[in-house]
Structure 1
Amino acid sequence: MTAVAEPYSVERHHHHRDVTGGWLRPAVFGAMDGLVSNFALIAGVVGAAGAGRGAVLAGFAGLVAGACSMAAGEYTSVKSQTELMRAEIAVERRELARNPEGELAELAALYRARGLDAGLAATVAAKLSANPEQALRVHVREELGVDPDDLPSPYVAAASSFGAFAAGALVPLVPFLFGASGMLVAVILSVLGLFGFGAAVARMTARPWWLGGLRQLALGVGAACVTFGLGHLLGVSL
């Protein structure tokens, strides 16, 4: 018996990752900033006064202060951005209530500009505008470029930034918590952390992993070398 061919192939739906939740940027920035800044801070202290209690205190202070600062900054910035978005959404809501005909014409003109003929553009705009809430969502997405139902959360941004910064800052501090007497182990862990996290982020964003790793490694080591050199040059005792 001859098999009958399928009249069409079954569609395989694909899934996109969450790129609007407000967590990726603060997490990446926090982890990299924590690792680089604390590595550089500890390197500067060791360059000035050698490894010891001062390096531990400086690293721990840098971790706590940096994580709190990053979380507060991310919360404030994302909260302000979200409040601005909500204010603009409220403007659009008032305009739809005050001048629905003008907003309908505006939406139709937008679809004509995208290639629809005048009749089809008017029909699509009218269908989308039949429901006031649906009309608001469409206008906000088209005019402001944001999804009113998926605005970034300042709490998610703050928590992501705090946790990521603390995790990154802990990497160069760990050897000194266990009594390390020099920078060797901290340097090895920090180099591995910089390259590994840079490679992971590059893979997440569909870029060559080795390029992302090397770029982050160069930035982190450069910052640490500068602060270590300054600390060694100044020789400030703690």
Structure 2
Amino acid sequence: MKNFTWATCLIAFGSLPRLCIATGHPTLQYDPETISPCVEWENNAHNLVCEEVRDYWNITPEEFSRWNPSVGLDCTPWIAASYCVVPLERLPEVSTTSDPPPTSTTTTSTRTLGPSPTSWDPRGCYIDDNAEIPTLQEPMSEEGGDDDLTVAKCEDSCYKSFFEFAGVKEGNECHCGSYVAGETTLNATECNAPCTGNSTDKCGGTGRLNIFMALENEIVTTTTGSSTVPTSTVLDSTVPTSTSTSG
């Protein structure tokens, strides 16, 4: 099973609904000049209509072309590719409101999207034996491998290069990617090769990648001052909400 998280929505096309697919990372080819960071992508693998995608996500032609420079204001060219529909700059801002008493409470909330270099989720052992279709797209180790590789070292390299996924292979190789294109193995022990930099770490196997996914940072709320007057948090956004399922 491929490692994708899907969000689905329906777009009206005449009298028939059409399926559009949104993910947190591109699953198809995309313009390298696409706005970055992007947190939601439409993957045009089912003959979506450009204008309907823009309308559904409440995007103006000018915004869509700025985020996706390969597409003009007239929605051409429109090909089978992944397009950014929610860049980080479009996420809702957090604001606070309260009736200020003589002594007030100030609550501030901050959200940092993107991978944390200290928080990674193991995704399992993946098959990676086809050089033409790599499971992770970017090899980070030099030819011949890394004589001092650890899982943490590979994760750090991928994080600093703005990749969401890190993978270790054959004991001495580090690979990074924005998405995972391969499938898991039937036996996790196929990823038991010791890392060259730490024999207690497991760095994949022959034609096998041990893959980790960077996690998002949490919302952190701090409160200063003293008061019993409640403070409310208000979110304001026109970005539609999709229903997420795993498959």
What is the TM-score with the length of structure 1 in the denominator?
0.19
More helix by share: 1
Point out which structure has higher relative CO (alpha carbons under 8 A, 6+ apart). 1
Higher strand share: 2
**Is the radius of gyration larger for structure 1 or structure 2?**
1
